[in-house]
């Protein structure tokens, strides 16, 4: 779906949520191969039994990637990602956990280029128990409507 949502149309507190996505062993194995991160926390079930969580955990970068993908169902033709800030992994995600994302517009500000504004989205990722597993801020560079 394509749309044009200009800076002025974003409202602080505006909220959207995503559907869920279950994290599988295949996700972890593919992500390890793509990223080169074969740390035992993700790949070695027996070693993990000796650790505090007692089982393998998903890569934080995998959870970040899946979460961003879950939010990307609408293409705003006048907006682009400017970056991410304050990324934190607050709980582990395990094989079989289902994550979903809540995105809230938390701030708007002018940009140094007057034809753009910055929109900040608070991105919160939850597991199936509604426990927060990841949080970050997504910065969007958004065109202002021509006056």
Q: Which domains does the chain have, with CATH numbers?
A: 2-143 (3.10.129.10)
Segment holding 101, helix H or strand E:
strand 98-110
CA-wise closest residue to 65 among 48, 89, 82, 42: 89
Give this prediction's pTM: 0.94
pLDDT score, position 147: 62
Residue 109 pLDDT greater than 90, yes or no: yes
Compute the residue count for the chain.
Answer: 147
Q: Round to whole Å and give the CA distance between 47 and 5.
A: 49
Task: State the residue for tokens 């582990």.
Answer: 92
CA-wise closest residue to 70 among 134, 3, 114: 134
Q: Round to whole Å and give the CA distance between 115 and 26.
A: 44
pLDDT in tens, 55-80: 999 999 999 999 999 999 888 999 99
**Widest Cα–Cα separation across the chain:** 63
């Amino acid at each position: 779906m394509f749309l044009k949502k200009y800076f002025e149309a974003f409202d602080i507190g505006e909220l959207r949520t995503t559907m869920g996505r279950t994290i599988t062993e295949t996700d972890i194995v593919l992500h390890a191969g793509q990223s080169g991160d074969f740390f035992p926390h993700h790949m070695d079930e027996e070693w993990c039994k000796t650790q505090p969580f007692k089982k393998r955990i998903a890569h934080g970068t995998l959870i970040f990637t899946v979460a961003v993908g879950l939010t990307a169902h609408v293409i705003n033709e006048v907006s682009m990602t400017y970056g991410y800030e304050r990324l934190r992994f607050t709980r582990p995600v395990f094989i079989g956990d289902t994550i979903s994302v809540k995105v809230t517009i938390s701030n708007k500000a002018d940009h140094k280029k007057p034809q753009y504004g910055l929109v900040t989205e608070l991105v919160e990722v939850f597991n199936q128990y509604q426990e927060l597993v990841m949080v970050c801020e997504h910065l969007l560079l958004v065109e202002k409507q021509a006056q």
